[in-house]
Structure 1
Amino acid sequence: MTRHILVAPDKFKGSLTATDAARAITRGLLRFDASIRTIECPIADGGEGTLSAAVAAGFVRIPVDAPGPTGRTVSTAYARRGTTAVVEMADVVGLQRLPGGTRQPMTASSRGLGHVIAHALDDGCRHIVLGIGGSASTDGGAGFLQALGAKLLDEHGRPLGDGGRALLDACALDVSALHSGLQQATVVIACDVDNPLCGPGGAAAVYGTQKGANSTQVEELDAALEHWAALVDTVTETNARGIPGAGAAGGVGFAAMAVLGAELRSGIDLILDMVGLDRHLHEAAAIITGEGSLDRQSLHGKAPVGARLRASAHGVPAYAIVGVSTLSREEEAAAQFAAIYSLHDREPDLARSIAGAGNLLTAIAQDLAAEHFATSADRSCAAYD
């Protein structure tokens, strides 16, 4: 049986989608030898790129208009296969959706995420997969729940405004009118952070500054989340604020678990299962993966290392092509790739590397093939007939 090379990169943020990266790598392999057989399988870890990975795996993209993090309507989508819907938070209410990139730490909302999920439920989807990385808000998931039918009121009985700051005025929560489709639905969250909702390791303290909050605002947001958590605990008779992952996506993890009974799963494992990576690893001669930056965070649940772990379980060597690697030699050895290639080594100028990432990936993939997949009388690559 002809074996193949599996091409399974994550996105190169700021330059290439995972799909574009896979195509560029394949071009390099075929430029070395047109007889090489490849299978392209773009991957993600639950954050930006999750939607594209689902579509590349055969899901159908369903367009939706929804409120972005500031309330301005954005054109987004979810991916559907059968009754399963994949929703990427970053694509609707992520940092990339902030007008002009201006952070709004106190007023940004997760409302649009709930809007997209409601659309999927209306269309009959009953298994909801949420990729919640890259969020722009720290609202405890309040906007997300409101879009799904929850009523959140202030002391005067008025609907609560958007954003984390408004949570300080929350006095009443009614979840009796949640979308009826949720009664038959399962909600699974792709999440690779273990932060609780509040406190020094919580959503505001750890991620608030990334979303534009100063030190005073971080304290205010944390107090608001504490107040919100107490209200949710009372209404739902749960105590989810301390569960690892409750602080994910500014508290969306907390709201989804406490109110919707959502399950948190490892983002990379969930997405790799969804795109069928193990199936493609069967009879693979090698896998080539990669991402924009290989760093210490990559060693704890990022897509390329997750792909390498799956490959090792199948006895398949894994190669990585990355934009830049900040790992030490010891850390690179611990990552256990067969080889790591960097665009930075080929083009040290960051601006030129980003602008020419596709051509660089192709050239490096061609070199990789020449070094590791060349055939000779005594050394043959199983990716050939």
Structure 2
Amino acid sequence: MSVLIAVDKFKGSLSQSEIIEVVSNFLSHHQIEHSSVHIADGGDGSIDALTQLRWQRKTMTVSGPLNNEHKADYAVSPEGNRVAVEVAEICGIKYLQGNLRPYLASSRGLGEALSQILPSNFQETLICVGGSASIDGGMGILQGMGISVLDRNGKSVQPGLAGLEKAFEIDFKTLVSKREELFGDSSLKVLSDTSFPLLGIHGAARSFGRQKGLTRFGQIRAELALRRWFRISKEFNPQIEKKKTGTGSAGGIGFAMNTFFGANIESGSDFFVAESRVRKLLTEKMTLITGEGRIDSTTLSGKTLLPLLKLARERNSRVLLLCGSADATTLRYLRKEFPIVGVVKLSDSGEGIEVLMNRAREILAEQLDSSYQKRWFA
């Protein structure tokens, strides 16, 4: 018997490396042969996953979501011709430590990061956009590059959603100049962890506003601000679409990179599955151990789990699913569609959310031991 571990992080509690270590110890205890790969979806942990694929980790200084300077990692490919940045690492929600500030949080740091990196003339730039703190339509990217966004009185607006609500005009002349200066002929890709568009009932404000700290009324305000931002942006790029897939990622960062800089928006999970050795390592009759922190409806719209489950079905492999918790409806669907032989949930321990987050490593080990069945690997 042979097992492949291919997991993304459990957001806020366990990294890919920590999960792999716990599962590897469990399998070694039962004398089960196994190998592992790091996977990501374009969100938190993307740079970590790339470094496991022999990309070189580098560091820069940028503004966080509330304009505080800090060190952030990025990665350069082994060949030196590709570079990757991670929004969660630059201006992610993790830096707010629970003190959500949706009207002030900005994507400015990403604009600063690209301005520092891209004069190096990489052939391809990858922007991993999950885990953001802001819902500013990507306006902060322009501000971080020195491109003015003005109100009706011709004054620069402040960063964040509060500034987006007052945005009236973009300095298109400087935008065109910066676009040529920074990107030139370089290929630009947004690796998204969601397929949701910028606007509408499945758009950035309504789908992700709550997790960024917006009330229901705040989500309506954000939707109106993003609609105005769309109209302003359409003056620069008349071809943009309201419901283009992935433009709602990271509070509209996907929209800004596509609209202003011509970036292609792609599935982050598909990229990492292709870039890693999963397709080579997972063979027929093996067991794939995979999962994510929370299995729910968003699992079906850009997360890493779905392409891995499809690959397991294609290879006639078994799947052991790990998660922190799971929505019953989504889990029933996955069990029906894919060859899942077992599910290990941290929430089955009966502990409260705070304990689960703080003791996730120990609880995962305990749940694996208590749930173990030979048929997982037979």
TM class, shorter-length: 0.7 to 0.9
Q: Is the deviation greater in 182-191 or in 329-338?
A: 329-338
In the superposition, relative to structure 1, how do residues 314 and 243 fare at CA in structure 2: closer, same or farther (>3 Å)? Answer: same
Match of 1:184 in 2: 185
Q: Does 1:240 align with 2:241?
A: yes
Matches within 5 A, 1:1-385: 4-33=2-31, 36-81=32-77, 82-98=80-96, 100-167=97-164, 168-174=166-172, 175-178=175-178, 180-282=181-283, 285-328=286-329, 330-336=332-338, 337-346=340-349, 348-365=351-368, 371-372=374-375
Is contact 1:64–1:77 with CA below 8 Å preserved after alignment?
A: yes
Task: Tell me, in whole angstroms, the C-alpha distance in 2 between the residues paired with 1:236 and 1:321.
Answer: 43
Task: Tell me, in whole angstroms, the C-alpha distance in 2 between the residues paired with 1:296 and 1:208.
Answer: 16
After TM superposition, the score normalised by the length of structure 2 is: 0.87
Is contact 2:342–2:376 with CA below 8 Å preserved after alignment?
A: no
Is contact 1:281–1:314 with CA below 8 Å preserved after alignment?
A: yes
SS at structure 2 position matched to 1:292: strand
- CA distances 1:77-98 after superposition (whole Å, capped 9, x unpaired): 1122122222221122121122
Which structure's CA Rg is the greater one? Answer: 1
Q: Which amino acid aligns with 2:362?
A: N
Q: Is the deviation greater in 256-265 or in 319-328?
A: 319-328
In the superposition, relative to structure 1, how do residues 353 and 237 fare at CA in structure 2: closer, same or farther (>3 Å)? Answer: closer
In the superposition, relative to structure 1, how do residues 255 and 11 fare at CA in structure 2: closer, same or farther (>3 Å)? Answer: same
- CA distances 1:317-355 after superposition (whole Å, capped 9, x unpaired): 221122223325733522521221223334545444433
Q: Which amino acid aligns with 2:212?
A: K
After TM superposition, the score normalised by the length of structure 1 is: 0.86
- CA distances 1:18-39 after superposition (whole Å, capped 9, x unpaired): 1110111001111111xx4322
State the percentage of identical aligned residues: 27
Is contact 2:58–2:73 with CA below 8 Å preserved after alignment?
A: yes
SS at structure 2 position matched to 1:331: helix
User: Aligned pair count?
Assistant: 370
Is contact 1:28–1:364 with CA below 8 Å preserved after alignment?
A: no
In the superposition, relative to structure 1, how do residues 16 and 172 fare at CA in structure 2: closer, same or farther (>3 Å)? Answer: closer
SS at structure 1 position matched to 2:4: strand
> CA RMSD for the aligned pairs?
2.6
Is contact 1:65–1:76 with CA below 8 Å preserved after alignment?
A: yes
Task: Tell me, in whole angstroms, the C-alpha distance in 2 between the residues paired with 1:9 and 1:194.
Answer: 20
